[in-house]
Amino acid sequence: MPAHRPIYLDCHATTPLDPRVLDAMLPYFTEQFGNPASVTHQYGWEAEAAVQQARSIIASAIQAKPNEILFTSGATEANNLAIKGVAEAYFAKGRHLITVATEHSAVLDPCRYLESLGFEITILPVQPDGLIDLDQLTQAIRPDTVLVSVMAANNEIGVIQPLAAIGQICRSAGVLFHTDAAQAIGKIPLDVEAMQIDLMSLTAHKLYGPKGIGALYLRRRNPRVQLAAQLHGGSQERSLRAGTLYPPQIVGFAKAVELALASLETEAVQTAALRDGLWQQLQVLEGIHLNGHLSQRLPGNLNISLAGVSGQALLLGLQPVVAVSSGSACSSAQTQPSHVLTALGRSPELAYASIRFGIGRFNTATQLEQVAAAVLETVQALRLADLAPAG
């Protein structure tokens, strides 16, 4: 990597591919190119064996069974399949779904789409720390509620929702529980049995795997979840997700999960130490706010807002040194403050002036020191420029 490239601290957007993952994938681009659905020859059998092994690895990482894993193109597709597929399959039972204001747009947009078709959606607010109120969830469940969708860990503020408690509430009310675990898999322990999760969306590229591959966990017993396919055209994945499977990506996904699980605790300690060090150094800044719960968050996440500083100017100033994002979906044409930060009750000003740091496996203490120094310097320069007489 050329030395002049900025330090990468945007691991909630995507992560670099681990070289060990690439090594595992390579044979499936070349000699082992078979279609797993080809049952009449060795090329197909080899590909099918690789896919089955990957399925087992991913299933056991969340205490599921291999036949409960459906491969998709990523978490966006898995969320769409879970939400629309359950809504359609349980249409006769009820047409009410519950989700949360801080969800990823890949959950909120399918819900809004269902609303346009006549479904009713309750969007729960969050507390100032980003956690949902469990009593509010309990009260929101109605006789016609079919699904509760609450993300495992937030992609902007890293806040981890109380999954086991949510699962308990849903199970005792007879309502299905879906969780978008795109940010959580490989970062925190996940257990679909202990947490009573019925559907879970996963993706590979947030845990050092390849882009374009993910999965939906679909519970097959106690209860057996019904799902309506959203993609038709073949009998792959028990006809719930048609389309030729992609063995290189699937093998890479499984390798990434295996590696992340093997070093889950040591990596959590390592990234949390880097994150805490950064936070400690930045705390000297006047008007700094931490967004999201202090400890109930992903180890590599830090999200801050700075009063009286233009978020855009700050990001621009930091660009040569560090690759971060504001965590808000902004483009120069239509700038909207982050829906996650406004859901926490942050003012639009503070929501605009935010930075999301996503620290990962390959970051070092030296890099974090450089970043801290650059942030301190840039903020001070911007504030001095503001004090200078205009003109």
Question: Which residues belong to the active site?
Answer: 330
Nearest to 301 by CA among 283, 266, 325, 281: 325
User: CB under 8 Å to 105, separation ≥6 — which residues?
Assistant: 329
DSSP string, 245-291: --HHHHHHHHHHHHHHHHTHHHHHHHHHHHHHHHHHHHTTSTTEEE-
* Tokens at 18, concatenated: 């681990």
Can you tell me the distance from the alpha carbon of 140 to that of 157, in angstroms, rounded to the nearest whole number?
A: 24
At how many degrees (to 10) do helices 247-262 and 264-282 cross? 70
Smallest gap from Cβ 137 to ligand PLP, in A, equals 19
From the list 7, 47, 81, 106, which residue makes contact with ligand PLP (rule: CB under 6 A)? Answer: 106
Smallest gap from Cβ 198 to ligand PLP, in A, equals 18
Smallest gap from Cβ 91 to ligand PLP, in A, equals 25
Can you tell me the distance from the alpha carbon of 226 to that of 137, in angstroms, rounded to the nearest whole number?
A: 23
Can you tell me the distance from the alpha carbon of 164 to that of 208, in angstroms, rounded to the nearest whole number?
A: 26
Characterize the bridge pairing of strands 176-180 and 69-72: unpaired
Can you tell me the distance from the alpha carbon of 375 to that of 282, in angstroms, rounded to the nearest whole number?
A: 8
Nearest to 205 by CA among 76, 97, 347: 76
Residue nearest to ligand PLP (CB): 74
From the list 131, 132, 151, 259, which residue makes contact with ligand PLP (rule: CB under 6 A)? Answer: 151
Residue 122 or 155 with smaller CB distance to ligand PLP: 155
Smallest gap from Cβ 131 to ligand PLP, in A, equals 16
Count of residues engaged in binding ligand PLP, rule: CB under 6 A? 13
Residue 95 or 205 with smaller CB distance to ligand PLP: 205
Cβ 217 vs Cβ 85: under 8 Å: no
Smallest gap from Cβ 39 to ligand PLP, in A, equals 30
Cβ 98 vs Cβ 138: under 8 Å: no
Smallest gap from Cβ 159 to ligand PLP, in A, equals 11
Q: Which helix (H) or strand (E) element contains residue 44? A: helix 42-61
* Tokens at 283, concatenated: 């705390």
Quick check: 161 binds ligand PLP (CB under 6 A)?
no
Smallest gap from Cβ 13 to ligand PLP, in A, equals 7
Residue 102 or 363 with smaller CB distance to ligand PLP: 102
Question: Which residues in the 178-237 window bind ligand PLP by CB under 6 A?
Answer: 180, 182-183, 203, 206, 214
Burial class (CB in 10 A: 0-12, 13-18, 19+), 68: buried
Smallest gap from Cβ 297 to ligand PLP, in A, equals 14
Question: Which residues in the 46-75 window bind ligand PLP by CB under 6 A?
Answer: 74-75
Can you tell me the distance from the alpha carbon of 156 to that of 301, in angstroms, rounded to the nearest whole number?
A: 8
Residue 106 or 163 with smaller CB distance to ligand PLP: 106
User: CB under 8 Å to 8, separation ≥6 — which residues?
Assistant: 16, 323, 360, 362, 363
Quick check: 76 binds ligand PLP (CB under 6 A)?
yes
The region of 176-184, 216-224, 302-310, 358-366 touching ligand PLP under the rule CB under 6 A is 176-184
Where do we find the tokens 């120094």?
A: 373
Quick check: 155 binds ligand PLP (CB under 6 A)?
yes
From the list 96, 104, 255, 293, which residue makes contact with ligand PLP (rule: CB under 6 A)? Answer: 104
* Tokens at 40, concatenated: 């009449």
Footprint of ligand PLP on this chain (CB under 6 A)?
74-76, 104, 106, 151, 155, 180, 182-183, 203, 206, 214
